[in-house]
Every structure is written in C-alpha cells, then in structure tokens.
Amino acid sequence: MLKINFSLIGFFLLLFSPLAMAQNPILKGYADAHMKIWNGRMYVSAGKDKSPDIKGFAMPNWSIYSSSDLVNWKLECNILPEETFIGKGSLKCWASDITTLNGKYYFYFSHGGAETGVLAADQPDGPYRDVIKRPLIPEAYSVNHEYDPTIFVEEDGSQYLIFGRDGFDGKNLIHYQIAKLNKDMVSFEAPCDLLTDKEFGFGEKNRARDHQYFHKYNGTYYLSCAGAYMTSANIYGPFKNERHTGQNGHSSFCEYNGQWYHMYEWTCEPFGNRSYRQVSMTYLHYKENGDMVDDLNFLQATAVAKEGKYFKTGVGNYDASWEKIEAEWFFKKDGTLVKKESPAGGFEIQNIHNGDYLAFPNIRNLTANSTINLCVSSVHPKGGTIEFHQDSEAGPILGKCKIPDTASLSTYKTIGCKLKNKPGSANLYLVFKGGDGELLRLDWFNFQ
C-alpha cells in the first residue's frame, strides 16, 4: 500500500509555489539574496540551492521574487543557465544583483566564482536575455576570482559594479574591485581596487572573503562581507574600522518605505547542511555614529547566538500578545519623524510633527475594543494627539490619545487608550496631530 507523507508534500508545495506566504525564513533552499526597490515593491534575486542532500554548493538556477508587504512573496521568474552563455546543466548559479537604467533592467550574475555575466529585460520580472552572449568579466581577466557582483547606484545616477575577492599570485596583492559602468550597462571603465585598512579586506590566509555588498547611508559608503562591514567617506576607500551587525551569511541592506532591512542567508533548518540555505530578514538600525545594528529579535539561531524571539514571525508582522511592539519596527513612515537611539536604551521614534504617521500592518490576535498602551515622552507645551486609523492614514478612526508634557524627553510615561476595533487582525496607522514643533517621542506600545 502506498504511503504518502503529506507534511513533505506540503513543504515542497510551499517551496515551489509561485506565491509564497512566509515570514522567516522568506525563502528555503536559496542563498546570496540581494534587494532592490521598484514601483513600490521589493525585488529579490537569489540563487537556488539544489538539494539538502548535496554537500557542496550546487545551484541550478536563479530566481526573482517580489513583495509589497514583505509577507507575501511572489515568484516572478526563474533564470536558467541555458539562457546564458554558461549553458545547460551548470550547477554554478551563484550570487546576482539587478539594476535599471532608461527603462531597461540588468541582471548581473556570478558563474561559480570564475566569471561574471549580464542579462537584460524590459521589466524587473523578466524575461531576461543574454545581451552579449559572453562573459562581461571573463575568467582570464585578472588573478581575481570574478564573482558575487554588487551594483551600487550613486546619487547622481552613476552606476558601479563591485566584484571579486582578493587573490594572491605570489607578486601582487589584489583587493576587491570597483568599476564604473558605461551607459550601455554591458561595459565598464577600468576597475580600481577598493582599499581597506586590513591587508586582505575581510579575509584571512592571503585572501579576502566573498559575500561582499556595497551601499550608502547618510553620506557614508559601506563595504560589507556577510555581517561584517567597514565604512569610508570616499567611494574608493580606504574602508576602515571593521564592525559586525550581528548576523553572518551573505547579506544585503536596503531601505523600503522609510525602514531599513538586513536580508541574510544561513543554514536551512532542519537540514543542518551549510550548502543548503535559507533567506531571512531583520530590521536594521543605525546609531548616531553610523554603526549598523541588527534587531536581534528577528535573527536566526547560529552556532554562537540564540534564535530571536520573533524570528519566525518576521518583519511586517506583529502580535497583540507581545510584551512590547517597538516603535522602530514600523513597516512604513511618512513625514519628518526619524528612528534614533533612545535615552532609555535601544531605539525610538523622534522628531514627530503634525501630520506624520507610522504604519503597523498585520497586527494579529487583537481582542475586540482593545486598550493600547504607549510609552512616550514630550516637552511640547500643548502636547500632541495620536489618532489610530484602520487600513490607511485616512481610514476609519479607532480611537484617539492625548499625550501630555512629561517634563523631559528622557522621562517616559505609559499612556493608555481604548480602541473601537473588531477582534482578529488590524492594519494600524498611528497619525500624529498637534501644533508646531516636535510633538512627542514614541518608544513602544502594547495591547491589553
């Protein structure tokens, strides 16, 4: 008699469904994910790990997923090696990145650490075609291993390709390299070394590691490798002062709806095979000095860290039973408000003015007519008011809360407000009203 493992079937249905509904991990059996934002959606390119039973990195294709809420992820397309110069049957579909220029989209990819290619499409979801039918950076280009391409777009629209890892040929020390792309996006100016204050970048034993990524925040350039990163005031470096965000694995960093995220890969559980991975996300915070900080509540367990208590819930999701919903976990913001370090420790939302709002969608397990408690500070002479709207900043008002002057921005009070909400889930918008100037600061809120 045939026995069917329905749990296994369910796993594969989830894994290969064109519309995946997941929190963390977002993608199972994927790695090297890079994020980009277009048309109000986040697009993620990632390489597919073939099987948890294979030791070693066997990756048969790339995939592009997209989401508007970071909860429901749509498989937009698969890109097969036979659609490129690589040819059918390759298992070396390594890291990739996407960019756009003049209405065209360009997909840069690594062929197993040997060479880099480029595809083009009219839409971010493809179909992509091999426009030059040869490597953009061939294997013989230099002593580098030419892989893990990252595309960085400067504020003036200039685009740069960052690639490779250090190599040592007995004579020359080679750093990560950066090349300015030409307007055709399939050629580039002579590359320059990305200088670092360490001899081998992020590496050891005469080489720098792969997994590099490149982005910019508040006028500072960030060169990262997995969870480690260095910074520089100049795009070419030198990059200095290595720090760590808190999570290992190939990473990318991105701002979406005013919120910063860290997307990372790590071993896919329960398989325990480091060459079969999964992709997850956490909120990313910046300190005043520019240091990046992962929100530990949403990190996957590693050999040196416990699983975050909200890892499986993931970003863009909240539960009314949580002890606290931190204000810095918002999904969307609008106005002058900013996320900054709090005098009480951690982070909070500051510089809140009249008309600003924060969105917290997908708050689950609410009881009818809940009381919301808010930890706030204010020195505004007339205080401010928080309106709680359903579904949008202009949606039905569920309640209002007057915030008093707490005498100091480092003195917090917990203020309760009764809501008129239905039981179940809610998309909650906190809309701030009041006079001129900074109305209040918001640290966290919860429900009872």
The three-state DSSP-derived secondary structure of the chain is CCCCCHHHHHHHHHHHCCEEECCCCCEECEEEEEEEEECCEEEEEEEECCCCCCCCCCECCEEEEEECCCCEEEEEEEECHHHCCCCCCCCEEEEEEEEEECCEEEEEEEECCCEEEEEEECCCCCCCEECCCCCCECHHHCCCECCCCEEEECCCCCEEEEECECCECCCCECCCEEEEECCCCCCECCCEECCECCCCCCCECCECCCCEEEEEECCEEEEEECCEEEEECCCCCCEEEEEECCCCCCEEEEEECCEEEEEEEEEECCCCEEEEEEEEEEEEEECCCCCEEECHHHCCCECCECCCCCCCCCCCCEECCCCCEEHHHCCEEECCCEEEECCCCCEEEEEECCCCEEEEEEEEEECCCCEEEEEEECCCCCCEEEEEEECCCCCCEEEEEEECCCCCCCCCEEEEEECCCCCEEEEEEEEEECCCCCCEEEEEEEEC
- Identify the sign of the CA torsion 306, 316, 224, 111: positive
Per-residue pLDDT at 14 = 41
Ordered by where they begin, the domains of the chain are 19-298 (2.115.10.20), 318-447 (2.60.120.260)
Per-residue pLDDT at 139 = 83
Average pLDDT of the chain is 91
Q: Which of 166, 69, 119, 144 is nearest to 425 (CA)?
A: 69
Which residues of the chain are modeled with pLDDT < 70? 1-22, 142-144, 165-174, 204-208
